[in-house]
Every structure is written in C-alpha cells, then in structure tokens.
C-alpha cells in the first residue's frame, strides 16, 4: 500500500480538522471529534486492486458522526463500505442497528446517517458498488451494520484473503488484480450471507433466499446456462431446498426463470429503443439458446409469434425509427 496521509508533523490543533477533510474526501461527509479534546493521531495508506479501492486507516480514539443532512447532500447512495477490523473495537449505530466490532470482524456500512465510536486501532475499508451486493443478497438494509463476526468460518477466510491480497497486490498483473478483487468481493458476499442466515428465523431466511434468487435471475437473464442447479449453487443452498422454497410460494424455479425471460423479451419487443434490434439478438440477450426456441416458448405464452407481437406495436416502433432517422 502507498502512504497517503499522516498526522506526523501536523500541529495537534490541526490534526483532527485535516483528518476530517480526508475522511470526507475519500469516504463520507462526517463530523469527527476526539474525547475530552485528547491529542489525535492518524495514518492512511491506500491501494486500488482492479477496480476495488482499499484504504488502511489507523487512528487514536475518535467519534465519527454522519448527519442526515450531510448524507443527503454529499453522500453517494450507490456505494457501500466494507470494514474489516484489524485491531481495536468499534461501536456503530446505523439504520436502527447497533453493532460492536472487534478484531477480525467484518461489517458493511453505507453513507447514510450513523455514529461510530472507535477505539485506537486500525481497519481496512473497501469501497464497493452497492449493486454488487443487492444483486445477490437483496436490499442492503437487510445487512447494513450487521456484523459478520470473526468466529464465522467464512469471515475468517475472507479476512485472511483480503489481507493477503493487499500484501501481494503490487505483484499482480492488471488482469490478475481484477480477478482476485472479484474473488474478494464474492467472499465478502458469502460472509454476509452466512451472517444473514444466522440472524433470521427459518421462515424469514426462506424469504431472503428467494429474494436473493430472484435478484440473481434478473442480473443473469442473458446467461443461457442459468438453470435451477446453477441458481441453487449461487445461493449456497441445495437444489432440493431451493425447490421447496419456490414451491412454498406457488412457483417452480424453471418456470420462474423462463417466465422472466419471456416477460423481459416481450417488454423489449415493444420498446422503441429496441426497434432496430433483430429478434434473434433480442432472444440471445434474454438467455434463449436459439431464435427457434425463443419463438416456440413465446408463442406458447402469448399466442402470437415474436414478430407478430412486435408488429402489433408497430406505430410506436415507426415513430421512434422516424425520430431517430432510421426509417427507410
């Protein structure tokens, strides 16, 4: 990692102010203060592995507060921060949860209002897109400020991997860095998923699993290899268990996948923005292995062929094509 900032050599009166400016710039807009005006020291090292920015913070005891007003004005709702505690202890309040972290624990936070009381210690903070988590785990409010403790096997593995990844990052090629970073994010997701399963009663856990499965289907509709066994593996449950959860809700997994593919395809057939897209390419983009396969399933569902369905909305298509200069 590269040294980025240190309070060494900075007058004690200015140390907290400059640290606050640093945190606001790299993470979130925050108010920072030390208890009883005690002297403050801090150090920040940074690196970026692939597209994954990682910050190593070390600081003395400090209180950090993000207000609702500042979060709305300057926070980034599309990003989340994964904190791996290396030493010291924190108490964090966010989204009506109070979390306590100790060395080895992992927690996901966002830029909404929060209060953190942090003892002298250090942490790795990883800046990641919220969508990467919500695609698999569902809405982030389900796991924000939920501590994945160090005694969970998945958290132990994740923490060790992330620290080793940081250590060797300067020896990775750009392609290797992207792959290794992606593995790191997958491990973080697995840790949070295990923690969520531990938190929720079986009925709620079932709802969360189905919600995650549906989100995964939406994100991977274009993959022709997406099927029930692959979906179950992605959710970390057996195929039998996932089938049970869908059956309890009156659905079959395969019917849900094909149904969503057909619904998305029908929407694109009527979307003026897709007016010039061939039916074959549209079919492949929705996960169908061939245009014939798509046409057969589409007619079974809608009683007309894809071409007829598109022609029924021809006025919209022609208006778009004319406006775009695409009409012949």
Domain co-membership, 178 together with 260: no
Domain co-membership, 156 together with 175: yes
Pick the last residue of a domain from 155, 177, 199.
199
User: In percent, how much of the chain has pLDDT > 70?
Assistant: 93
Inform me whether the pLDDT recorded for 237 exceeds 90. Answer: no
Q: Which two tokens stand for residue 160?
A: 């060790």
Domain co-membership, 75 together with 190: yes
* 95-115 confidence digits (pLDDT tens): 888 999 999 999 999 888 888
Inform me whether the pLDDT recorded for 259 exceeds 70. Answer: yes
Question: What CATH number is associated with residue 41?
Answer: 2.60.120.10
Domain co-membership, 57 together with 118: yes
User: Structural domain of residue 101, as residue ranges?
Assistant: 2-199
Lowest mean pLDDT among 23-32, 162-171, 187-196, 229-238: 23-32
Domain co-membership, 13 together with 103: yes
Question: What CATH number is associated with residue 223?
Answer: 1.10.10.60
For the stretch 45-60, what's the b/e string if a residue is b when 16 or more beta carbons lie within 10 angstroms of its beta carbon?
bbbebbebbbbbbbbb
Q: Which two tokens stand for residue 80?
A: 């989340």
Domain co-membership, 187 together with 227: no
Domain co-membership, 176 together with 229: no
Return the pLDDT at 322.
Answer: 46
Domain co-membership, 41 together with 142: yes
Return the pLDDT at 320.
Answer: 44
Domain co-membership, 157 together with 303: no
Residue with tokens 């590269």: 2
| Mean pLDDT for the stretch of residues 73-87 | 89
Which own/partner pairs from 294-301 qualify as long-range (CB within 8 Å, at least 24 positions apart)?
Answer: 294/265, 297/258, 297/262, 298/262, 298/265, 298/266, 301/259, 301/262
Domain co-membership, 263 together with 283: yes
Lowest mean pLDDT among 31-35, 144-148, 217-221, 264-268: 31-35
Pick the last residue of a domain from 199, 217, 249.
199
Domain co-membership, 81 together with 229: no
* 283-326 confidence digits (pLDDT tens): 999 999 999 999 999 999 999 999 999 998 765 444 444 444 44
Q: Under a CB-based contact definition with an 8 Å cutoff, are residues 100 and 153 in contact?
A: no
Return the pLDDT at 315.
Answer: 55
d(CA 297, CA 262): 8
Residue with tokens 């624990």: 105
| Mean pLDDT for the stretch of residues 119-143 | 90
Pick the last residue of a domain from 146, 165, 199.
199
Number of domains in the chain: 2
Domain co-membership, 140 together with 220: no
């Amino acid at each position: 990692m590269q040294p980025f900032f240190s309070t060494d050599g900075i007058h004690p009166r200015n140390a907290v102010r400059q640290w606050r400016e640093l945190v606001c710039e790299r993470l979130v807009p925050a108010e920072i203060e030390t208890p009883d005006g005690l002297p403050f020291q801090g150090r920040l090292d940074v690196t970026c592995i692939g597209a994954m920015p990682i910050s190593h913070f070390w600081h003395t005891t400090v209180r950090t507060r993000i207000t609702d007003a500042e979060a709305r004005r300057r926070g980034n709702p599309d990003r989340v921060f994964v904190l791996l505690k290396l030493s010291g202890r924190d108490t964090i309040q966010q989204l009506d949860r109070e979390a306590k972290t100790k060395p080895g624990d992992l927690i996901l936070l966002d830029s909404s209002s929060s209060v953190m009381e942090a003892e002298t210690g250090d942490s790795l903070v990883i800046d990641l897109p919220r969508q990467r988590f919500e695609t698999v785990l569902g809405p982030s409010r389900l796991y924000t400020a939920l501590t994945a403790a160090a005694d969970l096997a998945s958290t132990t593995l994740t923490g060790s991997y992330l620290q080793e990844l940081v250590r060797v990052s300067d020896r990775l090629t750009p392609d290797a860095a992207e792959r290794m970073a992606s593995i790191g994010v997958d491990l973080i997701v697995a840790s949070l998923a295990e923690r969520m399963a531990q938190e929720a009663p079986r009925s709620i856990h079932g709802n969360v699993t189905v919600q995650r499965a549906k989100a995964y289907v939406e994100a991977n509709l274009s993959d022709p290899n997406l099927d029930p066994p692959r979906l179950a593996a992605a959710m970390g449950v057996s195929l039998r268990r996932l089938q049970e959860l869908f059956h309890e809700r009156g659905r079959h997994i395969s019917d849900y996948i094909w149904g969503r593919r057909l619904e998305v395809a029908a929407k694109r057939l009527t979307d003026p923005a897709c007016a010039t897209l061939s039916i074959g390419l549209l079919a492949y983009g929705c996960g169908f292995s061939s245009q014939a396969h798509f046409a057969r399933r589409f007619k079974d569902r809608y009683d007309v062929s894809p071409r007829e369905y598109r022609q029924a909305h021809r006025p919209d298509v022609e208006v778009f094509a004319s406006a775009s200069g695409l009409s012949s």
